[in-house]
Structure 1
């Protein structure tokens, strides 16, 4: 596994990371033993950066991860997040008190004394990012976190945060399915030596070995509320996705492997963060880090899936409230 830095002069980790949101059934029923086995096999593949959050299963993902960390903490670069609540009246809370409570809760559930990379999961609109950075820097100075990260922020928020202190990474959804970071975040991260952690690089499963069937989504499947999977949009999206899958197989790759390779081709500061509890799927994801795409192949991919090709926005109204808009 090739390695990339978590920010300029930051820790080196595998270019492909492991997201743990799937561990608690976000996209269907989850199995504890399958998840633990996936983590063990990821380390053997060189996938040593594990990403979680306090709201994944209301702490259950962190608790499951703690079981694995008991024997493997020294081999794992650990990330978690804070800033989202389950309070409909105040869905985002970046107050020092809430962030402190969230951090202490994560440390307790994870069974660790520090978190290597700690993200602000969503920026509370009315709270200056400068104030939030001061809180995160206090956590860092106390030794409870290592590096600071931001998630789903606009380029201008990143620039303001950097004026206060170092930011190692920014998480944004980025894939051939969702390319908004190319409108500013990708460039701002590169310019400032910040890692871009591209989550959902396999497009919520659309670049999997088999196309998902929205008719079979369970009631708790996160994709239920995503317009790209609607009865109107999905048939149109599926046509291009089948064409991409055929092209990937013509090259001798799975669609997921090629999708990951494309994400990593966006720059040496970009890392891929797929979420999975399947060792088989993670092996396909990890293979993407071993592929260098030629200019001709990149052009062919762009022809099949040109920027803006997907029908429908990535999020519905409720989920659109958190990510910062910047174009």
Structure 2
């Protein structure tokens, strides 16, 4: 597994990490035993970076991850959690008192005195642009509650605002073959500033695996069922904001492109490798609901190179099928 260093923290992370939303909630049921098996498989495959949030399963993901990390205390894992969605996402709720309350809860869930990396969890733009936000986060670093902080964002404009802050260690943003806008400005700006980029939703909620069809159904408690209209949270988090029918057809083309390129990897692995090969990306965080998925995702972290014809084909597919739906919106 390739490693890259989060420059402002000075810590190496695996180029393919693991997102643990699936292990908490909103993707159908995953038992605790299965969740721990996914974590073990990822670690055995070389994953050292784990992303969670205090709201995934109301803390379930953090608690399971904390138990796993405690059992591997010498492994050097880095855990990034997120805060800010335990209350209504209005600027007034992003107060120092709430920050400390949320952080204390995450420290308890994860079983640690100091959190490795805390990210604001897609807050309003006003919070990202406010000097007071970073004053509070700096105090939390100074008193040892957190080692570093970053911002998880929905839009490129929010990412650029956060990158301009001197102590922001990382920006987490949706980046995949169906959401390529961060390539324009965000990745170059982050690389120039030494800010890490954590790429989430790498498979467009599974679309890029090429396994879905128009009649595929998802569990009632799966966000791919209940959030297609964005009624629960930003619709960009579900299928990357792409209309499902369009996404299924575009994913079929993506799978054909992988086959034509003789990559000898699955479409999902090609999608992850495509992100990992973008200059400025620190780590990609696909999720996994079972051991096989965790192993396959991690294997994408050792793909040496991608042919120019494949990269050109992905760009063409995005321009023809996807750009009009998502590029201007996020």
Q: TM-score, normalised by structure 2?
A: 0.85
> Residue by residue, what CA displacement relative to the aligned partner does 1:176-215 show, whole Å, maximum 9, x if unpaired?
1222323432222122111111101111011226226665
The residue that corresponds to 2:65 in the other structure is: 65
Displacement of 1:78 in angstroms is 0.9
The residue that corresponds to 1:300 in the other structure is: 313
The residue that corresponds to 1:44 in the other structure is: 44
The residue that corresponds to 2:235 in the other structure is: none
Counterpart contact for 2:154–2:174, Cα < 8 Å: no
Displacement of 1:169 in angstroms is 0.9
- Relative distance call for 1:179 and 1:160 in structure 2 (3 A) is closer
The residue that corresponds to 1:263 in the other structure is: 275
Counterpart contact for 2:118–2:146, Cα < 8 Å: yes
| CA distance in 1: counterparts of 2:160 and 2:198, whole angstroms | 17
- Relative distance call for 1:109 and 1:312 in structure 2 (3 A) is farther
Displacement of 1:24 in angstroms is 2.1
Counterpart contact for 1:38–1:279, Cα < 8 Å: yes
Q: 2:302 aligns with which of 290, 293, 314?
A: 290
Displacement of 1:146 in angstroms is 1.4
- Relative distance call for 1:214 and 1:48 in structure 2 (3 A) is farther
Check if 1:236 corresponds to 2:249: no
SS in 1 for 2:118: strand
Check if 1:170 corresponds to 2:171: yes
Unmatched segments (≥5 aa) in structure 2? 230-237
| CA distance in 1: counterparts of 2:48 and 2:172, whole angstroms | 17
How many matched pairs?
Answer: 314
* Most deviating of 61-70 and 213-222: 213-222
1:1-327 aligned at under 5 Å gives the runs 1-8=1-8, 10-75=10-75, 76-87=77-88, 90=90, 93-127=93-127, 128-152=129-153, 161=162, 165-208=166-209, 210-211=211-212, 215-224=216-225, 225-226=227-228, 233-249=243-259, 250-291=262-303, 292-303=305-316, 305-307=317-319, 309-310=321-322
| CA distance in 2: counterparts of 1:119 and 1:50, whole angstroms | 13
- Relative distance call for 1:31 and 1:209 in structure 2 (3 A) is farther
| CA distance in 1: counterparts of 2:204 and 2:53, whole angstroms | 20
* Most deviating of 118-127 and 166-175: 118-127
Unmatched segments (≥5 aa) in structure 1? 315-324
- Relative distance call for 1:158 and 1:240 in structure 2 (3 A) is closer
Counterpart contact for 2:160–2:186, Cα < 8 Å: no
| CA distance in 2: counterparts of 1:258 and 1:39, whole angstroms | 22
> Residue by residue, what CA displacement relative to the aligned partner does 1:106-135 show, whole Å, maximum 9, x if unpaired?
001111111111111123444453211111
| CA distance in 2: counterparts of 1:131 and 1:308, whole angstroms | 42
Displacement of 1:155 in angstroms is 5.7
Displacement of 1:157 in angstroms is 5.0
Counterpart contact for 2:125–2:158, Cα < 8 Å: no
| CA distance in 1: counterparts of 2:141 and 2:73, whole angstroms | 19
| CA distance in 1: counterparts of 2:211 and 2:329, whole angstroms | 34
- Relative distance call for 1:71 and 1:246 in structure 2 (3 A) is same
- Relative distance call for 1:212 and 1:311 in structure 2 (3 A) is farther
Displacement of 1:274 in angstroms is 0.8
Counterpart contact for 1:179–1:308, Cα < 8 Å: no
Counterpart contact for 2:151–2:162, Cα < 8 Å: no
| CA distance in 2: counterparts of 1:152 and 1:212, whole angstroms | 29
SS in 2 for 1:84: coil
| CA distance in 2: counterparts of 1:301 and 1:124, whole angstroms | 31
Counterpart contact for 2:275–2:281, Cα < 8 Å: no
Q: TM-score, normalised by structure 1?
A: 0.86
